[in-house]
Structure 1
Amino acid sequence: MAEGDDQEQKTEQPTQRRLEEARKRGQIPNSREVGNFLILFVLALTISGFMPGMGRDALHLLTPFLEHPDQMAVDQRGLGLLLSQVMTKAASILVMPLLAAVIAVLAAAFAQNGFLVSLEPVIPKFEKISLMRGLSRMFSMRSLVEFGKGVFKLVIVGGVAYMAVLPGLPHIRRLVDDSMIGILLFLSKLAVKLMIGVCVAMFFIALVDLIYQRISYTRSLRMSKQELKEEYKQQEGDPHVKGRLRQLRMERARKRMMSNVPQADVVITNPTHFAVALKYDGQKMSAPKVVAKAVDFMALTMRKIAEEHQVTIVENPPLARALHDAVEVDEEIPVQHYKAVAEVISYVYRLKGRVPPQMQKRAAL
């Protein structure tokens, strides 16, 4: 009862931190039906591709038993030799399908959750050894869902298999009069039809189960509002987390600022220690605006971006330093710098064959 009430309080979606911690513990969403489908699908492809050779080898293996059973040695040495030959031949026939099945199992696990190695799920925990807990898991809703899913899968796959085999039933009754090669050809065609039908059914079962497992996994990791508050406090109180968050914010701000450089009209430099990018639109702005600024290495980066996008670069150390110290990004330049900036803007516009009249008025002031 208490566990049910606790689950009812957990209404919030799990945070990224909770998901990462669950992954470290080996607690990941995993659909066994996806693995079953991939194994069946890869086996079907492998068997279809190698069927002529496998059929020929199987025919050679079975022929002595069916056509000349009276010629087999039945003493101890003969039976041992026969058993060795049969096992060797059977292994050579089955090696490719078995190898494909192993690859399919690994591919299914990797496709669902990526590469993950965690020993925690296999470490024995004594608190899990509980009769009551075992009984509760046995009769839990999840167990009922798994049982229902198993019955549903059995009905669907069985029905598809029956529909695939049904058209060949009359021929099956006549197999006793057919040759060995004819029997193998018929069985191979029937096996291909059966595999195709079962693969299609298993694909849809795996798709539904994958969606269910993802939803069930997310629900199992839901958090209460109190847990969210506690996690937030832990993260905010951790200096490493705060430092990392601050670093991420600064990186995002720098990237956003550098993306403004290609739209600038001019970049004023120190030339190496300071760089300030200005943009001016006489229709929308009362004065030029600083769209980006940087020092040292980032200033060199601004120069490179400006050169790549053919933004005019003007070396004016006093003005670059003054604008960098006095004006923040996305702010218009102050009145005391109108004249100096007007000269730079006018120079840039003359290079481009146009002169901003409003800046000329401000410069005259």
Structure 2
Amino acid sequence: MAEADGQEKTEDPTGKKLSDARNKGQVTRSKDLGTAAILIMASFILIMLGDSLGHAFMVMMTDAFTFEREAVFDPSQMLVVFATGVAEMVLPTLAILVALFIAGVVGTIALGGMNFSTEAMMPKFSKMSPMAGLKRMFGTQGVVELLKSILKVAVIGCGVWGILHFSFADILVLSSTPFPSSAEAALDMLLWMFLILCMSLLVIVVVDVPYQIWHQKEQLKMTKQEVKDEHKDQDGKPEVKGRIRRLQMEAAQRRMMGEVPDADVIVTNPTHYSVAIKYDPSKGGAPMVVAKGVDQIALKIREIAREYEVPVMSSPQLCRAIYHTTELDREIPHELFVAVAQILAYIFQLEQFRKGRGKRPTPLPKEFDMPQGFKY
């Protein structure tokens, strides 16, 4: 869609884009790095284990071609010779194979890290399309691979020429060296030549690794519209977020209204504000605000209070001060303790009076003196 809209992919891939690409098996890889790692490791291991491998080979050949006359007529001797040869060769060969396996794994995951993707293993018929194949052959990637191949031939060719040029005199000396010293020298020379040629592949690696990193980043670049769409998908559509917020507010209001019947007193504005206060002496501390609201919510609080016979007190300044300074399920500020304590004491004395256990309490003033910073 982005290409159809004519937008250029100018934005770096986001974290989600990189994660999705990795899940699909699209990670940065360098075939030349893996090839160079295997070949260099092979040359090193052959130089290190060349003597052991050569000795094992000589022992195997000696055992294979040195035998008594009676062994010719004994068919079981063939198995004995074969087992002896395998026993001599197995350890050096196993060491070489393990070293090459480690080099191959390390060389492969060195760029891009370890990644296992089942999606990448699934067959894709689009890869079987002749047109797609031609596009890959004659596209930018095909041109780059061609240039890399030419560079490989040039580098290796220069390496071969340089080795032969500087080793020509040593090669001529081999013709006058007696056997088996000449064979040992020739093998040693070949191994070091092989190592130098393999090391020359690092020139290709130095070029290929930065290119593969750049190419992977270019492939995953996004248009500005794709970035916006992704942020929208992650954050959620505005209408969905609005509905979620409404549902959360409704749930919070229902919970809050459920606390009103247990409140000790409702302090009102008396029309626009309502605050429900509860005090539990067993828990200590200060009185808490269990419900509050303005306009319709304030009216609903007063309705529930009347239904459950919760006392309602009109004190506009105190009500506004509590509403603006105290969150739900929080203790009221200590600056308002005296005014709230007077209201709670009045409510308690009024209940005792109605039960015939005391005299009628003195009516409270309509307003209380509010401290500085609590006048709303």
- TM-score range normalised by the length of the shorter chain: 0.5 to 0.7
Counterpart of 1:47 in structure 2 is 46
Q: Distance in 1 between matches of 2:165 and 2:79?
A: 41
Structure 1: 5+ residue runs without aligned partners? 243-272, 274-317, 320-334, 338-365
Does the 8 Å contact 2:32/2:208 carry over to 1? Answer: yes
Q: Deviations over 1:163-189 (max 9, x none)?
A: 223333344355455444313331243
Question: Unaligned stretches of 5+ in structure 2?
Answer: 242-284, 286-333, 336-370
Structure 1 partner of 2:143: 144
Deviation string 1:244-268 (CA, Å, 9 cap, x unpaired) is: xxxxxxxxxxxxxxxxxxxxxxxxx
Q: Is the contact between residue 9 and residue 224 of structure 1 (CA under 8 Å) also seen in structure 2?
A: yes
Give the C-alpha shift of residue 132 in structure 1.
1.3
- Kept in 2, the 8 Å contact 1:33–1:206? The answer is yes
Asked if structure 1 preserves the Cα contact closer than 8 Å seen for 2:24 and 2:117, the reply is yes
Aligned to 1:57: 56
**Aligned with 1:114: secondary structure?**
coil
The answer to whether the aligner puts 1:99 opposite 2:101 as a matched pair is no
Coordinate RMSD, CA, aligned = 4.0
Q: Which amino acid aligns with 1:181?
A: P
Which amino acid is 1:110 matched to?
A: I
Distance 1:168 1:63, change over 3 A: farther
- The CA deviation at 1:198 is 2.3
Summarize the Cα distance change of 1:170–1:60 in structure 2 as closer, same or farther, 3 Å threshold: farther
TM (normalized to structure 1)? Answer: 0.55
Name the % identity. 26
Instruction: Provide the secondary structure at the position in 2 that maps to 1:9.
Output: coil
Match for residue 213 of structure 2?
Answer: 214
Q: Secondary structure at the match of 2:117?
A: coil
Q: Find the counterpart in structure 2 of residue 115 from structure 1.
A: 114
* Higher helix residue share: 1
Q: In 2, distance between residues paired with 1:107 and 1:136? A: 32
Aligned pairs for 1:149-298 within 5 A: 149-173=148-172, 175=174, 178-237=177-236
CA displacement 1:299-329 (0-9 Å, x = unmatched): xxxxxxxxxxxxxxxxxxx79xxxxxxxxxx
Equivalent residue letter for 2:49:
F
Shift of 1:143: 1.2
Counterpart contact for 1:58–1:93, Cα < 8 Å: no
What's 2:20 paired with? 21
| Contact 1:29/1:214 (8 A) holds in 2 | yes
Quote the Cα distance in structure 1 between the aligned partners of 2:91 and 2:29. 33
Shift of 1:213: 0.3
Aligned partners of 1:101 and 1:170: how far apart in 2? 33
Cα separation, 2, equivalents of 1:79 and 1:178: 36
Q: Distance in 2 between matches of 1:32 and 1:43?
A: 17
- Asked if the contact 2:13/2:222 (under 8 Å) is kept, the reply is yes
Q: Distance in 1 between matches of 2:38 and 2:2?
A: 38
Shift of 1:162: 3.0
* Residues 55 and 184, structure 1, Cα contact 8 Å, conserved in 2: no
**2: CA distance between counterparts of 1:145 and 1:7?**
26
Q: Distance in 2 between the 1:61 and 1:18 partners?
A: 57
- CA spacing shift, 1:64–1:36, aligned 2, 3 Å: same
Contact 2:11 2:224 survives alignment (8 Å):
yes
**Equivalences, count:** 244
| Structure 2 Cα separation of the partners of residues 6 and 215 of structure 1 | 25
Q: Is the 8 A contact 2:44 2:195 kept in 1?
A: no
Q: Secondary structure at the match of 1:11?
A: coil
2:35 is aligned with 1:36 = yes
Counterpart secondary structure, 2:20? helix
Q: Which residue pairs with 2:301 in the alignment?
A: none
- AA partner of residue 129 (structure 1): M
C-alpha separation in 1, matches of 2:24 and 2:76: 54
